[in-house]
Amino acid sequence: MKKKSQKAKEELYRRGKDVANLSACQALIEWDERTYMPLKAADQRAEMNSLLAGLIHDKFTDPKIGDLISELENSDAIKDPEAVDAVNIREFRRSYDRATKVPKRLVEELARATSLGQGVWTKGRHSGHFEEFYPLLEQILKLRKEQAEALGYKDDPYDALLEDYEPGATIAEISRVFDGFRPELVKFVHAIIDSGKRPDVSLITRSYPTERQEMFGEMVSTAIGFDYTAGRLDVTTHPFCTSFGPGDTRITTHYDPNNFAKAFFGIIHEAGHGIYDQGLPVEHWGTPMGEFVSLGIHESQSRMWENMVARSRPFWDNFLPIAKCFFPDALTGVKVEDFYFAVNDVRPSLIRIEADEVTYNLHIMLRFEMERAFFSGDLKVRDIPGAWNEKFKKYFGIAPRNDAEGCFQDVHWSAGYIGYFPTYALGNLYAAQFFVQAEKELGNLHDMFSRGEFMPLKNWLNEKIHSQGKRYRAGKLCEVITGKRLSHKPMMKYLKGKYSPLYGL
Ligand code: CO
């Protein structure tokens, strides 16, 4: 690299690091807001937050950053597109363009509409009536369409929104995968319902003292590789995982002393996210090479640990005897096959966040179909409830009694998050495909789990995914790791292999 480009690169990376540090400050006060902040601090906190958001935006959209990127794009730094500097320049360009292409007026209007939208949506959730929400949702859609036009896209304006969450993903590619998945999954869900078999889920809702749940959760998340010398576990209402850079990744959970599954699988889920963050390459912190790929890939990590590992039979062969020491009142005399079945209860349910790993994907595909239709204008906002209920009945065999447990149960659309939902199902599908590959390379993973050995899988994920930062887009990463593009087949095979014996199919 020429001396002048070298200087431009150092300047760009230094500025990138400043933005990353400011963003980390913002993430830290948000973490505090969602865990320990006193109620009366809300107004002052909002001011702190908006000041930081403004500083971050100004720093990152400084025209000097654009100049540095352009200079580097004309240098030999981008010769090898998968080399560290080329990846960083490509990704700085992408974020810079996305931050500068949308007019300030539109950014502000969107912020206002979504903040109002969430308020009115919350009211609707309590009353079950959303008529007041309709005009706001229409407004949000209009603004998001304008935003898509400002950002640009190749085939479909929805693709521009997907870029916020799953860079490189397109409506065409997601439809290809979902269209193969949907009919097989609907058939399988109906077979499970028709089997009439049900686990005894009362095992899960016995008395599980909170302090013991915390100790057990910390122990198991440590066993799968979450590093508590570089992280914490705290309590919140809506669990999440956040990071402030190398050495500080925080997970959260919500305990219910009469439900073992909620906090436990939540902790493992968030620890899966946390293990990804802790595995990002420290030397690239502050540049895109030190960042995660996409929400879908992030979710593939949490879902793999939560479902494919922690809801597997060998996992409980290993951990149930230990759990019995923590929870003797609840678990003495409980057989591992009964406990395993109880944590894998599949049933059609109305609420997405309570869904099991089989039906969950249907909840997502339904939302993807709905938001495609109303974003393109094919479906009017006032017709969403009818269309939702009809599809829901077809997929799940049940129908919601009102829109609060139906089409408007999630906060996403009111917050303007259109294009977000598909990343949840993509995460599941990536997880299944990665797991098959890990097993090919490492040998029988279930044998390892039954001996309490999780480091081979964790180290494999570190090497193949976490340490790669943003080198590849999600779809490409999948091809590089597994040799194939994303398919629903590994997921379907996994679900059938696990649930057919449980439900006698
Ligand atoms: Co998650």
- The 10s digit of each residue's pLDDT in 176-202 is 999 999 999 999 999 999 999 999 999
Same domain for 63 and 201, yes or no, is no
Q: Which residues of the chain have pLDDT under 70?
A: none
**Cα dist from 402 to 124, 137, 182, 290, 385, whole Å:** 11, 18, 25, 44, 9
C-alpha of residue 270 to centroid of ligand 1, in Å: 6
Does residue 162 belong to any structural domain of this protein?
Answer: no
Same domain for 322 and 412, yes or no, is yes
pLDDT value of position 192? 95
DSSP state of 283: G
Same domain for 139 and 192, yes or no, is no
Same domain for 203 and 70, yes or no, is no
C-alpha of residue 26 to centroid of ligand 1, in Å: 20
- The environment of the single-atom ion ligand 1, i.e. residues with CB closer than 5 A, is 302
C-alpha of residue 225 to centroid of ligand 1, in Å: 17
C-alpha of residue 464 to centroid of ligand 1, in Å: 20
Of 117, 152, 187, the one marking the end of a domain is: 152
Does residue 35 belong to any structural domain of this protein?
Answer: yes
Residue 223 belongs to domain spanning = 172-502
Who contacts 187 (Cβ-Cβ below 8 Å, separation ≥6)? none
Q: Which two tokens stand for residue 137?
A: 């949702």
Does residue 118 belong to any structural domain of this protein?
Answer: yes
| DSSP reduced 3-state for 405 | coil
Same domain for 197 and 83, yes or no, is no
Same domain for 113 and 189, yes or no, is no
C-alpha of residue 302 to centroid of ligand 1, in Å: 6
Angle made by CA atoms 49, 50, 55, in degrees to the nearest 5: 100
Q: Give the Cα separation of 322 and 326 in Å (integer).
A: 7
Same domain for 218 and 265, yes or no, is yes
C-alpha of residue 305 to centroid of ligand 1, in Å: 11
Same domain for 198 and 61, yes or no, is no
Same domain for 138 and 227, yes or no, is no
Q: Give the Cα separation of 339 and 199 in Å (integer).
A: 9
For residue 495, give the CATH number of its domain.
Answer: 1.10.1370.30
C-alpha of residue 71 to centroid of ligand 1, in Å: 38
C-alpha of residue 188 to centroid of ligand 1, in Å: 25
Whether 270 is catalytic: yes
Q: Which two tokens stand for residue 293?
A: 């790929």
Same domain for 116 and 231, yes or no, is no
Same domain for 330 and 431, yes or no, is yes
Does residue 226 belong to any structural domain of this protein?
Answer: yes
Same domain for 297 and 418, yes or no, is yes
**Cα dist from 24 to 11, 65, 135, 242, whole Å:** 20, 20, 36, 9
Of 97, 123, 152, the one marking the end of a domain is: 152
pLDDT value of position 278? 98
Count of structural domains within the chain: 2
Q: Give the Cα separation of 16 and 39 in Å (integer).
A: 34
Does residue 160 belong to any structural domain of this protein?
Answer: no
Name the strand (E) or helix (H) holding 252: strand 249-253
Q: Which of 163, 166, 270, 299 is catalytic?
A: 270
Q: Give the Cα separation of 19 and 25 in Å (integer).
A: 10
C-alpha of residue 356 to centroid of ligand 1, in Å: 14
C-alpha of residue 252 to centroid of ligand 1, in Å: 12
pLDDT value of position 1? 75
Does residue 163 belong to any structural domain of this protein?
Answer: no
pLDDT value of position 2? 84
